[in-house]
Chains A and B, each alone.
Chain A
Amino acid sequence: EVQLEQSGAEVKKPGESLKISCHVSEFSFSSFWIGWVRQLPGKGLEWMDIIYPPDSDITNSPSFQGQVTISADLSNSTVYLQWNSLKTSDSAIYYCVRRRGSPRGPFDSWGLGTLVSVSS
């Protein structure tokens, strides 16, 4: 069974940095694009960015470009999402997703989500 194991909930202050993770198991980390989807409290879903781990090719949503950084570590089959300076508006659940096949493929596997709370 495909597994996307996400890191645990985080409580941070504005201005702090954060890196959350998504560890992949039970499928080849080098064969799929892995990305992130945000869900603001009580709101819908927004796609943020996606990475192809073998060459770190990245596609970003214009809405999130410059706000977060996606990266991948082939040695431990993990994808990361990083903030240098959090804002209260970054408080959300962040889901790790796997995209199947072509650039127009669906997100066929999801993680459980990482809750990020940013408050002073």
Chain B
Amino acid sequence: DIQMTQSPSSLSASIGDRVTISCRASQTIRSHLNWYQMKPGKVPKLLIYATSTLEIGVPSRFSGSESGTDFTLTIRSLQREDLATYYCQQSYSNPPTFGGGTKVDLK
């Protein structure tokens, strides 16, 4: 199985801060990297797929990038509604695997 190592496991930031979350794949996944947002009691949400394509309706302050097997989710200016846990997931090979998650809360 492809291992996805996500960091940090948690972070605290202020409203308006730039936030970056990293995800490293144990082998090539050829841009098949997706990001999800999870909030307690809410339906989980696909944010970004194929490394950098924003899902319809996702604010443009979210972006994704890659460098080899390293992937990054960036929130350009953190908003209160962005406080959540974020997961990366590779869909390149079976079984699809997730990173361990990053919980974003307020400083």
Tell me, yes or no, whether A binds B. yes
Q: Which residues of A contact B (CB under 8 A)?
A: 44-47, 59, 61-63, 95, 100, 103-112
* B98, A44: Cβ atoms closer than 8 Å: yes
B32 contacts A108, C-beta separation under 8 Å: no
| Chain A residues with CB under 8 A of B34 | 106-107
Indicate whether B76 reaches chain A with its CB closer than 8 angstroms.
no
Contact of A47 among B36, B43, B96 (CB under 8 A): B96
B83 beta carbon closer than 8 Å to chain A? no
Find the B residue at minimum CB distance from A2.
B43
A-B contact count (CB 8 A): 50
- Whether B32 pairs with A104 at a CB distance below 8 angstroms is yes
Cα separation A108 to B34 with both chains bound (whole Å):
10
| A106 CA / B87 CA spacing, docked (Å) | 12
B: number of interface residues (CB 8 Å): 25
Q: Which residues of A contact B45 (CB under 8 A)?
A: 110
Chain B interface, DSSP helix/strand/loop, else mixed? loop
Supposing A104-B91, A106-B91, A107-B89 touch, asked if A95 and B44 sit within 8 A by C-beta, the answer is yes
**Chain B residues positioned under 8 Å from A47 (CB to CB):** 95-98
Nearest to A62 among chain B residues (CB) is B95
A110 touches B44 (CB 8 A): yes
In whole Å, how far is B24's beta carbon from the nearest beta carbon of chain A?
15
Residue of A46, A105, A108 near B98 (CB, 8 A) is A46
Judge whether B19 is part of the interface by a CB distance below 8 angstroms: no
- The 24 listed contacts between A and B (C-beta, < 8 Å) are A44-B87, A44-B100, A44-B101, A45-B89, A59-B94, A61-B95, A63-B95, A95-B44, A104-B91, A105-B49, A105-B91, A106-B34, A106-B46, A106-B49, A106-B89, A107-B46, A107-B89, A109-B46, A110-B43, A110-B44, A110-B46, A112-B41, A112-B42, A112-B43
Chain B residues with Cβ below 8 Å from A103 are 94
B41 CB contacts on chain A under 8 angstroms: 112
